[in-house]
Structure 1
Amino acid sequence: MDIRAATVLPADRRPITLHTADGLELVGELALPESGAPVATLVCLHPLPTAEGMMDSHVLRKASFRLPALADVAVLRFNTRGTTSRHGTSQGTFGDGETERYDVAAAIEFVEFEGLPRPWLLGWSFGTELALKWGCDPEVEGAILLSPPLHRAQDKDLDAWAEFGRPLVALVPEFDDYLRPAEARERFSRVPQAEVVGVDNAKHLWVGEPYVRRVLDEIVGRVAPKAHPLPTEWDGPAERDSGTA
């Protein structure tokens, strides 16, 4: 069976609630390999909620649908404060990337409490700003950034990552609306360990199955290299997600 945009592969999925230090409850989901322990963990930070970004934004949703089965990777998704998806609405109100520091910390603390291995931050657009500004935590192995705009995150945040020393990978679409590969390489040059990967013909929203597959392959190549490259076919049971774009 070909793995298509709407394919949902088997996993142990359960709703979770994250508790922030400033007293909020955030809606989330944890997807684990159906059998055996995960080899790594993705902490997903979604796009801008005021522009319809949420934990169910399609690349993050498809990561949770595929990577537990294909790569033994745990995928944690959640709605930042004030954000709504089909999983529910998190408490609080949008903090323009500032009070969301507590949301990032709550997700990392959850991973630590659950004993999940090798957490990597996976940020997309606004989520990359959260990773860069608030992700330098000793528990974090590294960060993968999809379409980083570098609007809220400033040079001081890049300098903090340089000092942090953990891997930083930026996947930058050729036709991004905010930051394209040449400028991204210049901006990220102040982080010696940063890797900027330009993706030909891609756009900010990564619409289209070929681009989703490229993103998921790049992610797995860093966090679970033994599973790279990801297969495009699946022989076991699967479901179809009616909400997949």
Structure 2
Amino acid sequence: MTLKTAIVTGAARGIGLATTRLFLAQGWRVAMIDRDTSALKDAAKGLDGAHAVACDVSVPDQVDAMVQQVLDHFGRMDALVNNAGIADFRSLADTDFAIWRQVMAVNLDGVFLTSQAVIPHLKQRGGAIVNIASISGLRASTLRVAYGTSKAAVIQLTGQQAAELGEWGIRANCVAPGPVDTKLALAVHSPEIRAAYHDAIPLNRYGTEFEIAEVITFLCSDRASYVTGQTIAVDGGFDAVGVGLPALRAQSGGM
């Protein structure tokens, strides 16, 4: 039996690496993609069934070369996980055009370019595209003008992909993580910020990289064969409560 192959961008760390490991545990082969060559090489060590390819997803020529290299190595591709992204947190006034374009180039252009490059190959037998957005693409917040807008655009792009590619058996879905316990979050979230998130999230905690990976791999699997065009918030209920105040929720605890 020919093993299915997934391409995972931003695979050198965090959600991308967790997704890679889970795919491998489920019997898939994985093309690990990242522009951080050193970190990618370290991440791929000892992962049987993984193949590392250095690529900046915002550069069209690199994307085309990466897809060809994956095809040459594995001979097929069945799923694409567009996870590569960068975060930038600053106010609208402090976001100059260079910063705006840098965020859009990776977070949005990268999803467009990589998806476009794999579509001819996915059309051969059907498959899945899973784009990683963010809760910041579903609800506005301070200091996320470029990041949040890029992720909202990824959600819309996912719908476009689902609408156009379904006739070839290609499904497109989006995962919107809430706060996740990554090294980046630990570095930039103060104790006060972490406490505020805990209060605002119904499950009262951050998610884990593995919990996000579980949803990603499900959406790529045959178990999700009739799921397309959806955005799933994996956020502990953060988006569901909307403007619900933690203090009011606490008062209803006994009801």
In the superposition, the TM-score normalised over structure 2's length comes to: 0.44
More helix by share: 2
Q: Which has the larger radius of gyration?
A: 2
Greater relative contact order structure (CA < 8 Å, 6+ sep): 1
